[in-house]
Structure formats: structure tokens, C-alpha cells
Structure 1
Amino acid sequence: MATPGSGTGGEAGIADVLQALKAIQESQSRLETEFESVSRRLDAIAPTVPGASSGLEKKTPPQLATRIPTTPTQISLGAGESDAGSTTPTSKEAVQAQTSGFTSRIILTTYPKQTGIDPLPLRWGAPDATGRGPVVVSRSSSTIRRRNAHGGSYSIYFALALASKQLNANHRPDFTNTEPAVNIGPFPQWGDKKKIVAMDPWGHLAPWLFSDVMEKENSKRRPAGCLPELEESVRSGRLVPDGKVCLNEMGELAVTKFAVEPVWYLPGVAERFGIDEGVLRRSLFEHTGGSYPELITRGDIKVFLPPIGGLTVYCFGDPAKMSDEKCRLALRVHDECNGSDVFGSDICTCRPYLIFGIEEAVKEAQNGGSGVVIYFRKEGRALGEVTKRGEDRASDYFKRTENIAGVKDMRFQALMPDILHWLGIKKIDRMLSMSNMKYDAIVGQGIPIHERVELPEDLIPADSRVEIDAKITAGYFTTGHRMTADELSAVQGRIWEDIDH
């Protein structure tokens, strides 16, 4: 047998390799030509807005400005469209694309070694913002070459609005009045890639920290909040107005709000759940219908903006006290319930517990400590309102969720403590929650909880006994009685015939 580089066989092998390399070079040349053609066509049909720019475009360093096409590899989907360089789309879809400011070609994906693609460096877990770098997810033709993340609920809504002509494709974000109301951090936890994997610790400051790629804006702060029940809280004496936290007899409160959208650092998320990163990527790809192909095709993309709800933090009292271990902290981590929180349904304890959590947070702030309520978007045990409640007996409460998902609760709390790390919280004096999943997740991340506080009996609506008794029997924290199976089956909610119609 001939060895490589020796005799006829070796020469033939080298010739095959050279021929393959030549074919690759020719293919790359054709690809570059197509890039230029597509770019010219995009510029020809894209709407122009005087003075509009991307922000990223202006700040591109000179050494990166050469041979960078405006679009990545694209695939033609226009039926009847000629491949001979015609710039006039003929299909209905192509005409619609033209009038909407799109080309008739669809961006399929991008690849690590693709010509002109040079993602901005992103070093998750760096000790400062400059070392970490900005998260870039825009699909703008002028910024796609610098993108280093993928997905995002904002991107999805932006795409829908563009498609329905509600937005201008060349719109440039204006960050006036978006500056954080108070300073948070930085804390050492921000630079630990194991502590924060589900949000961007520098995201709230991105327009100002990364002014080399986005224009700097001057901003101002905003406050405030009130719920109808809080007026009753004042009347009953559970809350006492002090003019600082509880402002008046109407129960209006002074509150600092932080709104957070999720940003997943995939290696860290995989490690948090104890699974392989490849398994996580495949699962995300398959369960989003292939909507995020780059999760598979681009191993260098480590950051993913999932199209799921975010969270909101409401801080009562001085925000600086949240991270001060000498000050007491009361915390309510609340998962959304549209039926109860918004519309006041009494079939569950969600809104009563939310109100109780706010009351206790306010009291802690009035006593010189800090009160925090964190509101997560996890409707109906993360399955939506339809599956929130299965049967009207406590013994069958979880049946609907189990029928659909195979488990009693589809929520996972493993990523929830990230927001606590971001806020600099190192201990919790009073945890206003009965959920063992939340407790275990927080303690598992090294944050001790000194006291667990359950919802008082007098705040539990009669019809919500079905929910609360089922949860307590399933393992929720309580200092009271846990029902037997027979007792649980006797807990029945209202039925249609119980109400005058």
C-alpha cells in the first residue's frame, strides 16, 4: 500500500486535495459575488430615511470596515425569480417583500467562518463591562456581521411589526428616559459565570457603557405604584402611612422598579441543569420548531435570548439596602397569575399572597430594612391559563397539568436566583413563599433563608382552599395541618349551580 506523499498513490492523493481546495476557492468566489449582488439589490429596494443609521455602523473601527457585506448567506424563495441577476421580483411574496422594505431573499443562517462575519467579542463572566462586551442580537443588515447572540422576544415582536408595516426597518433606538432610576452594583457576583446565567448583568447600562457602538443619551428617573387592596390595608391597620414608603391613606407606595428580559448564557444554563450543552441546544432547536437554527449550526454563539417572559423587581425602601447584610430583607418571589393578579379571581391565592408580600415588604422597609417583590412571567405553572386548574377537588387539582405535561408543575426555578445575585442579595431574613422549589433553588445558590412565612389563614379566599390545600399536601411549606387523602378529597370548590346566574 502506498503511503501519503510517496509514489503514484501519494501524488494522486495530493492532486485530489488540491482539486478540492480549488473547488472551495471557486465556490467562495461565487459566494462573495452573490453577496455583492444581494447587497446592491437590498440597497435598491430598501426604504431610505434621512439621518437614520444603526448606531453600530458609525462606530465600526477602520480595520473592520473592509470587505464586510451587508447581508449574510441568503436563499431565494421567490417563485419565478430569475437567477440571471434580475432585480425585479415576480412572485406575490416578493412584491409584498419589496413594499415592506424587504428583499425577496430570506436570511437562512450565518456560520463562524463565513466571509465578513466578525461577531463582537463576548466574554461571559468578565469582571467588568468592557471586558465582557455588549450582547448584539439585531438582524439589521448593517449590524448582522457583528452579532454575537441569537433569538429574543423583542426581536420576534420587532419582526412581526416590520412585517405588518408598523415599524420602520431603519429605525434607530432613542434611549431618552430609559436610564436606571437608581444605581445597582456592580457586585462580585456579576463576574462569576456560575452565579448569573439567565440575564445580562450589564444590560441595563448597555446604551451608556457601550457608547462606542451606541450613541450616549441623557436620561431621567421615574417612580410609583398602587393596588386597590392597599387602601383597605391602611384602613385595617396592616399598613401605616409614613409619607416615605406608604405615602398616604390611599395606600399609594413609593417603589423602585427594575424590568428584566432573559439572556441565557448556554454553557452556564446547561451546567445549572446538569445537562450537556449539546443536549440543551438540540432541545431548544427542536422545541422552537427550528426557529433558532444557529443554536445548532453556530457553536460559537453562546448567548441566547429566549422568547419567554421576563421579570420585574419592585423594591420598597432604599435600594442600596438590598445588598447590605446589616439590613433585614423581606422577599416575595411571585409567579404571574393573570386570572387572580389582574382580574381578581378567587379560585387561587395568587393575588392575596402578592398583596401580603407587598405589605410585608413595605413594613420591612419602614422598619429600616428592605422589601423586595419579584414578579416572574410563568403563568399557570408555565403552561398558560387554560391548564391552571384541572378539577374542582383538591385531590384532583394537578390533574390537568399532569395530563398535558406529565408533571404537577412545569415551572423550573433553577434560573430564578440569578436576579438575587444581580441585586447583590446575600441573605433573606423573611421569605414570603411556601414553595419548596423556590426555597431549594435560592439556598442551592448559596443564599441562606432565615425564616419562611406562609400566607395567613384570614387572607385565603374560601374557594381557593382547593388550590392551597392541594399544594400543601403536595409538599408546600406550612406550620399547620397536612391533610390525609380522605380529607383532601372532601375539599370541593364552587360549582356552576352554586351561583345565581
Structure 2
Amino acid sequence: MNVQGNIKDAVQPLSEAMIPTQDGQYRMIVFQDEQTAQEHVAMVMGEIDSAKPTLVRLHSECMTGDLFGSYRCDCGEQLAGARQRIAEEGAGIILYFRQEGRGIGLANKLRAYALQDQGHDTVDANLLLGFAADQRSFDSAAAMLMHLGVRMVTLMTNNPRKIEALQALGIAVVERLPLHPAPRPENHHYLATKALKLGHRLEGMDSL
């Protein structure tokens, strides 16, 4: 059985266009997840050499952080850091997934925020709503990378689960590059919980 071929079939490319940005020019490709019908995006800058590791960020949608600059999380800062690193390198890929709130959706994410305001942490809030701590799947990430001819990556992440998921699906993670969120009073407990309960590798957390 061709396992990689089966994984690649998990998504289908729908459309693409060139997108000029403040960071440089990206090729934007929309993929559809065959199981969920969600549309995910690959933002590809520069030439991708399949013989070398590709600089990659897997980023799940966060409307509050990415779009509105919320201080409750570090998502927007991580995305900005990844964009900056890719711009400096002149090549790389951002995979942007429609998995708001670690996969629970925007409405439930705000319900989780309300529970956090009552004293629960980000993990327990999800559990109280009847969800897993992290509902996301990264099968579509591996499939999109295979469509793009990428088999080796340098992954920009603090989340070891992303590394494990990609490697289990046939994508070699040859190096991890950490992203450094700015600790703030508003996200102190959130970051500490991600490190303690979800295993995120947040260098400098001991200074919080």
C-alpha cells in the first residue's frame, strides 16, 4: 500500500494566485480537506528545493490573535515571527489551517475564554465544554506538503505534537526553530499552561 499516496489524497488543491505582501510575494494555494470540506491555505515564498529542508510554519487560524492582536494568546506573535523568518530567508511555507481554537471553532473558543475568566485554565476550559485539550489533526498538513513536493522541513514551532504528527505521516522534521512569544500579564497563565499541560517548549518560561 502506498501510504504517502493515501495521505496526499487527504486534500485536493482548488486554486492559486500570486499575493504581494509587505513581507514579499507569496504563491497562495487553497486546498480542500476531503474529509471535513474545510479550505486550508499554503502560502509559499520563493523556490522550494525538495532536496533540502524547507522552512515551514503550521499555523491554526486564530481570529482574535492573528487579526485583532489579542493578548490572551501568542498566536499572532508566532505568525508574525514565522513571516519575518521566511522573509529573511527568502523562501518558506506557511500552512494556515481553519482550526480555530485548537479545533473547537470560534463560538466554543469564546465560551472557553469565558470559563477561563472564571478561573479555569485553557486546557480545563476545553474539557469542561466536552472537547479534548487539542482537537486538531495535522493529516492535512502532511498532505499539503506532499502536494508541494516537500518531504523534509525545518519546522518553526514550540509544539512537539506537530513534530510527532508530521514525522508519523512521512515528513522528516530535521530541525525545530522555536518561536518566542512576549510574556504579558494577560497571557501569563495561558503560556504556563501550554508548557505544563501540553508540553510546549517555551524557552524563558522560568522568568515569568
TM range (shorter): 0.7 to 0.9
Q: Which residue of 2 aligns with 1:346?
A: 71
Query: What displacement does 1:479 show?
Result: 6.1
Change in CA separation of 1:312 and 1:197 when aligned onto 2, cut-off 3 Å? same
Tell me the TM-score normalised to structure 2 length: 0.83
The one-character-per-residue Cα deviations of 1:10-56 (angstroms, maximum 9, x if unpaired) are xxxxxxxxxxxxxxxxxxxxxxxxxxxxxxxxxxxxxxxxxxxxxxx
**Structure 2 CA distance, aligned partners of 1:225 and 1:394?**
43
**Structure 1 CA distance, aligned partners of 2:50 and 2:139?**
24
The one-character-per-residue Cα deviations of 1:285-319 (angstroms, maximum 9, x if unpaired) are xxxxxxxxxxxxxxxxxxxxx34x2211111112x
1:262 lines up with 2:27 in the alignment: no
Query: What displacement does 1:384 show?
Result: 1.9
Q: Which residue of 2 aligns with 1:465?
A: 188
Q: Which residue of 2 aligns with 1:380?
A: 101
**Structure 2 CA distance, aligned partners of 1:335 and 1:412?**
10
SS at match of 1:416: helix
Pick from 309, 331, 337: which aligns with 2:62? Answer: 337
Change in CA separation of 1:401 and 1:450 when aligned onto 2, cut-off 3 Å? same
SS at match of 1:443: helix
Determine which structure has the larger strand proportion and give its number. 2
Contact 2:123 2:197 (8 Å CA) reproduced: no
Q: Which residue of 1 aligns with 2:124?
A: 399
Contact 1:329 1:364 (8 Å CA) reproduced: no
Query: What displacement does 1:379 show?
Result: 0.7
Q: Which residue of 2 aligns with 1:325?
A: 51
Query: What displacement does 1:393 show?
Result: 8.5
Tell me the TM-score normalised to structure 1 length: 0.37
The RMSD of aligned alpha carbons is 2.8
Contact 2:95 2:141 (8 Å CA) reproduced: no
In structure 2, what residue type is equivalent to 1:439? Answer: I
Q: Which residue of 2 aligns with 1:224?
A: 19
Query: What displacement does 1:405 show?
Result: 2.2
Query: What displacement does 1:392 show?
Result: 4.3
In structure 1, what residue type is equivalent to 2:27? Answer: T
SS at match of 1:421: helix
SS at match of 1:411: coil
**Structure 1 CA distance, aligned partners of 2:59 and 2:40?**
10
1:456 lines up with 2:185 in the alignment: no
Contiguous gaps of at least 5 residues in structure 1: 1-124, 126-188, 205-220, 227-250, 265-305, 492-501
**Structure 2 CA distance, aligned partners of 1:460 and 1:454?**
15
Change in CA separation of 1:391 and 1:438 when aligned onto 2, cut-off 3 Å? same
Query: What displacement does 1:443 show?
Result: 0.8
1:433 lines up with 2:157 in the alignment: yes
1:29-68 paired onto structure 2 within 5 Å = none
Change in CA separation of 1:423 and 1:408 when aligned onto 2, cut-off 3 Å? same
Q: Which residue of 2 aligns with 1:198?
A: 10
Contact 1:394 1:467 (8 Å CA) reproduced: no
1:351-362 paired onto structure 2 within 5 Å = 351-362=76-87
The one-character-per-residue Cα deviations of 1:415-468 (angstroms, maximum 9, x if unpaired) are 43111111111111x3111122211110112222122122225x4444222222
In structure 1, what residue type is equivalent to 2:163? Answer: Y
**Structure 1 CA distance, aligned partners of 2:149 and 2:83?**
20
Largest Rg, 1 or 2: 1
The one-character-per-residue Cα deviations of 1:348-390 (angstroms, maximum 9, x if unpaired) are 111110110111111222xxxx311110000112112243333
Identity rate, percent? 20
Change in CA separation of 1:418 and 1:440 when aligned onto 2, cut-off 3 Å? same
1:12-411 paired onto structure 2 within 5 Å = 192-200=4-12, 222-226=17-21, 251-264=22-35, 306-307=36-37, 309-318=38-47, 321=48, 323-326=49-52, 328-365=53-90, 370-388=91-109, 389=113, 390-392=115-117, 396-411=121-136
**Structure 2 CA distance, aligned partners of 1:451 and 1:400?**
32
SS at match of 2:141: coil
**Structure 1 CA distance, aligned partners of 2:72 and 2:172?**
32
**Structure 2 CA distance, aligned partners of 1:351 and 1:345?**
8
In structure 2, what residue type is equivalent to 1:362? Answer: A
